[in-house]
Amino acid sequence: MLEISKEELMTLSNDQFFKRFISAFYSKDSYKQVYSKLNTHVLRTLNKPFVEFDYRDYESIQNKKNISEDVKNYASTLFKFLFLKGILKHEEFNHIFALEKVKEHFASRAKNKDRIKVTEGSEKLNALNFEELLNIEEFYLSSQNDLDSLKKKFLWHLIRFYDFKNQQILDIKSQDFSNGQLNIAGKTIDLPKDVEELPELLSNTKNDGFTNLSGILKSLGNQLNIEKNLIPTIIRNTKIVNTICCPNCQEEYTSNLNNWCAIEEKLVCKACGDYLKYAYSYQELSNSPIEKVNNQERNLRNKENFEKNKKKLIENGIDFQRLNAIFEEIGKLGEEFVYNLEYSRLIDTKYANLIDKSPARNPKNGYDILSYEKDGTKLFIEVKATTSLDDEFYISKNELETAERILKDGGKYQVCFIKNILSDQPIVTKIDNILDDLVYCKVAQSWKISILE
């Protein structure tokens, strides 16, 4: 099959081509299954001669939600072969298939086809696992804001949360961004704050836009040591498997715990839960499956982890060549300590398991921990930790501006200052109004705080 010319290939009927293609590149044991699935999901669906297949056909199959990953892989192999033979000339294929690698791929398949067996009945979507998803989300929240990182963050967000086609994304130029929004495929969407610097950086590049989705995403996968080939389909599948349909309103939401609650032993979205509690006096279950956490045990584990990390930091000592890393470790230790304090304070309420320490991953947030008062009021906490007994610490301009904004809006912003963090009895000072100049002396732009009282 590899030796067949383009001219000879174009004389074959669909059935002749499919039979020869499968015989050449799949084992005898796999022939029947591959033929059946390609015939059903490609030939009958597209309903045209294979010589007329194009990029839109490829996209329509890869983006379908109701077919298995196996079928998508068979179809991808088929389109790769047509690309190799010059049947598919569309420029878009050059962005997803590397010709030399495709040649090597089919040479290897032809040589080892009897070892290529297809597993029966595998309908699981090829998606990121839990750890891989967390790694990407942590990268997305990081402070990395060079052009390469912003491109990766932007593509992840766009493919993860929207249903735009690959070509629509490839068509994006810097001129499509305006006032914090993106115009794409006739729609206007808000640009996340995490990538708000992207349009300006894009406009200053020679190649304004995204010329290679697969290349950018592959680089992201390699950077985060993700074993899967991070292509748009993988991200879209991840969206599918992490989406749940509410049985009451039938709206879909991500599996994030904050989107859901349990009412009368049934899982419903938060909006429906709030309505059902109000309209029918149904009870939200404090012991529901999604909240079955032994708070006392978790609190004990939190404290054990803190002591373990503190001991490690003391034993390692301070190598002044890695002083910045030490400061970062002290900061994380402080965040862990405050998280434990908050968890202990809220342990008998439903808010203990809602405390969120992920904001600390992104300095742009201006605070480290989102906690709560016992009445449910949000409490934004900025953590400052030091190994000394001095009544001073450093605070950034962004953190002060965040405090000012939240306090002016009537919210609660607290600076939790921990002195002597490595001792058995750290000293905790909670500052509810860091803007009070009569109590706190600020020096310079990266503010150093001294406590006067």
pLDDT for 61 equals 87
CATH number for the domain harbouring residue 406: 3.40.1350.10
Mean pLDDT taken over the chain? 81
Of the candidates 196, 124, 188, the one whose C-alpha atom is nearest the C-alpha of residue 154 is 196
Tell me: do 385 and 435 sit in the same domain: yes
Tell me: do 248 and 345 sit in the same domain: no
- CA torsion 318→319→320→324, rounded to 10°? -80
Q: Report the share of the chain in percent with pLDDT over 70.
A: 85
SS3 411: coil
pLDDT in tens, 364-388: 889 999 999 998 899 999 999 988 8
What is the CA 237 to chain-centroid distance, rounded? 13
Q: Which of 149-153, 207-211, 334-338, 449-453 shows the lowest per-residue confidence on average (mean pLDDT)?
A: 449-453
pLDDT in tens, 181-197: 999 988 999 888 888 88
267-293 mean pLDDT: 59
Q: Helices marked H in 28-181 — which ranges? A: 28-38, 44-46, 55-62, 69-84, 93-96, 99-111, 130-140, 147-161, 166-170
Q: 């600390």: which residue's tokens?
A: 360
pLDDT for 130 equals 86
pLDDT for 227 equals 82
For residue 46, the tally of other CB atoms under 10 A from its CB is 19
Q: Is residue 25 part of a domain?
A: yes
Tell me: do 234 and 257 sit in the same domain: no
- Which of 339-375 are b and which e, b meaning 16 or more Cβ less than 10 Å from the residue's Cβ? bbbbbebbeebebbebbebebbeeeebbbbbbbbeee
225-229 mean pLDDT: 84
Say which residues have a Cβ less than 8 Å from residue 202's Cβ, sequence separation at least 6: 147, 173, 174, 177, 208, 209
pLDDT for 372 equals 94
Tokens of 38: 């390609």
Q: Which helix (H) or strand (E) holds 262?
A: strand 260-263
Q: Is residue 120 part of a domain?
A: no
331-344 mean pLDDT: 91
Tell me: do 341 and 398 sit in the same domain: yes
Tell me: do 135 and 30 sit in the same domain: no
pLDDT band at 363 (very low <50, low <70, confident <90, very high): confident
pLDDT for 229 equals 84
pLDDT in tens, 241-250: 888 888 888 8
Q: Which of 85-99, 134-148, 342-356, 409-423 shows the lowest per-residue confidence on average (mean pLDDT)?
A: 85-99
**Residue 450 carries which DSSP code?**
E
For residue 122, the tally of other CB atoms under 10 A from its CB is 10
The β-bridge partners of 395 are 447
Tokens of 122: 């595998």
- Judged against a pLDDT cut of 50, whether residue 293 lies above it is answered with no
Q: Which of 85-99, 151-165, 175-189 shows the lowest per-residue confidence on average (mean pLDDT)?
A: 85-99
Q: Is residue 1 part of a domain?
A: no
pLDDT band at 156 (very low <50, low <70, confident <90, very high): very high
pLDDT in tens, 399-448: 999 999 999 999 999 999 999 888 888 999 999 988 876 666 665 545 56
What is the domain count for the chain? 4
Q: Is residue 214 part of a domain?
A: yes
pLDDT for 28 equals 81
Q: Is residue 122 part of a domain?
A: no
Tell me: do 310 and 439 sit in the same domain: yes
Tell me: do 208 and 277 sit in the same domain: no
pLDDT for 90 equals 66
Q: Which of 41-55, 99-113, 138-152 shows the lowest per-residue confidence on average (mean pLDDT)?
A: 99-113
Name the residue type at position 109: R
- Judged against a pLDDT cut of 70, whether residue 278 lies above it is answered with no
- Judged against a pLDDT cut of 50, whether residue 288 lies above it is answered with no
Please, what sign has the CA dihedral across residues 111, 115, 118, 124? negative
Q: 């059935």: which residue's tokens?
A: 15
Last residue of a domain, one of 51, 83, 115: 115
pLDDT for 417 equals 93
- Judged against a pLDDT cut of 50, whether residue 285 lies above it is answered with no
- Judged against a pLDDT cut of 60, whether residue 283 lies above it is answered with no
Contact 407, 369 (CB under 8 A): no
Tell me: do 101 and 230 sit in the same domain: no
- Judged against a pLDDT cut of 60, whether residue 303 lies above it is answered with yes
Tell me: do 304 and 416 sit in the same domain: yes
Q: Give the separation between CA 330 and CA 388, rounded to whole angstroms.
A: 11
Last residue of a domain, one of 202, 221, 241: 241
pLDDT for 294 equals 55
Q: Is residue 261 part of a domain?
A: yes
pLDDT band at 272 (very low <50, low <70, confident <90, very high): confident
Q: Is residue 125 part of a domain?
A: no
Tell me: do 30 and 58 sit in the same domain: yes
pLDDT for 440 equals 64
Mean pLDDT: which of 62-66, 111-115, 209-213, 376-380 is highest? 376-380
Q: Give the separation between CA 117 and CA 95, rounded to whole angstroms.
A: 29
pLDDT for 153 equals 92
Angle 15-17-21 from CA coordinates, rounded to 5°:
120
Tell me: do 384 and 414 sit in the same domain: yes
**Entry field: residues in the chain:** 453
pTM of the complete model? 0.40
Tell me: do 311 and 444 sit in the same domain: yes
- CA torsion 75→76→79→85, rounded to 10°? -130
- Judged against a pLDDT cut of 60, whether residue 323 lies above it is answered with no
Domain assignment of residue 419, given as a range = 295-451
Q: Is residue 124 part of a domain?
A: no
Strand order of the β-sheet with 187-190 is 177-178, 181-184, 187-190
pLDDT for 183 equals 92
Of the candidates 205, 224, 202, the one whose C-alpha atom is nearest the C-alpha of residue 154 is 202
Last residue of a domain, one of 291, 310, 330: 291
